[in-house]
A and B are shown apart, each in its own frame.
Chain A
Amino acid sequence: MTIAPVVVSVRVGAPPDRAFALFSRDMGRWWPHGMTIGAKPHAEIVVEPRSGGRWFERDEEGTETSWGKVLAWEPPGRLLLGWQLNSSFAYDPDFLTEVELTFVPDGAGGSTVTLEHRNLERFGADAEKVAASISQGWPRIIGRFEEFAGVPSAA
């Protein structure tokens, strides 16, 4: 069972290599404030520049809050991140959904940056894990979730 991934594309004037750098190296500078999970506002969001690197936020005092990890570091075209925040927004090293970024030249000197957040059905499985003692009921609920989530949002 799969749930439709979240896909968002934007066009930027920067070529792929620069867009890749701005996205990853400078994440803390563009990430919307308040859309973080640390106790204090983020000062930095770090994507360690290598496969296997960590992905985390850091506040002014240096406290780090993990988000996930770098699954594939392939500048300038592709960045694959592991989002390890579960359905309660808590970091869980046993939980992982993929966030893939692609940086494609747009033929006019800029690039198209596309984000795909997939494996969303695992949030259901995570919820299922939360409901560890329950064996019946969930498949039905998850089926209905899929039905609901499979409908493209009215944007």
Chain B
Amino acid sequence: MANLSARRTATEGFEALGDPTRRAIFEKLAASPAAVGELAQGLPVSRPAVSQHLRVLEEAGLVSKTAEGTRRIYRIDPRGIGAMRAWLDDHWRAAMTAFARFAESELAKTELEREIEREKGEEK
């Protein structure tokens, strides 16, 4: 079920960037890779809070980390951004499949059934 997980990742990506602090962290990392301490400087949040936000970004596939000596360096993970396209791909496939199914069911209906539905719709 690769598609399902791609959708989850992309959705998480969208949600993860909805938070202003996380967006600020993401933007800083977009400019250059950095360690937690460097990220915390210039942000109005504590170091543990930055770590927490990084964890969310990491889980969303937007950020990855590598160890350099004792430091952990965070950077943007382009796979998370690519997941947005994968999500759209998946999204439209699901939508168009639903449309085709609907069109077929409508085609199978008699004119009388359609009329009844139209009347119901107008009453609403």
Point out residues on A near B: beta carbons under 8 Å: 3-4, 6, 8-14, 18-19, 22-23, 26, 29-32, 35, 87-89, 113, 115, 117, 120, 123-124, 127, 130-131, 133-134, 136-138, 141, 144-145, 147-149, 153-154
**A-B CB pair tally, cutoff 8 Å:** 110
| Contact yes or no, A134 B81, CB < 8 A | no
Asked if residues A30 and B14 are in contact (CB atoms below 8 Å), the reply is no
Known: A22-B102, A26-B102, A131-B30. A145 touches B81 (CB 8 A): yes
Contact B98 A88 (CB under 8 A): no
Interface of A (DSSP majority class)? mixed
Task: Kindly list the 10 A-B residue pairs having the minimum CB-CB distance in the complex, ordered from nearest.
Answer: A30-B102, A148-B82, A144-B78, A10-B100, A12-B103, A131-B27, A149-B85, A137-B31, A8-B96, A137-B30
Tell whether, in the assembled complex, residue A130 and residue B97 are in contact, meaning their CB atoms are under 8 Å apart.
Answer: no
Choose the segment among B43-51, B52-60, B64-72, B87-95 that binds chain A (4+ C-beta atoms closer than 8 Å). Answer: B87-95
Which range contains the number of B residues in contact with the other chain? 35 or more
**Given contact pairs A3-B85, A149-B85, A22 touches B103 in the complex (Cβ within 8 A):** yes
Choose one: B82, B88, B94; the contact of A32 (CB below 8 Å).
Answer: B94
Cross-chain contact B103 with A13 (CB below 8 angstroms): yes
Q: How far is the CA of A152 from the CA of B26 in the complex (A)?
A: 27
Given contacts A145-B78, A149-B85, A153-B86, contact A113 B96 (CB under 8 A): yes
The answer to the question of B17 belonging to the interface, with a C-beta cut-off of 8 Å to chain A, is yes
Whether B39 is near chain A, meaning CB under 8 Å from some CB there, is no
| Set of chain B residues within 8 Å of A124, measured between Cβ atoms | 81
A98 to B21, CA, bound (A): 31
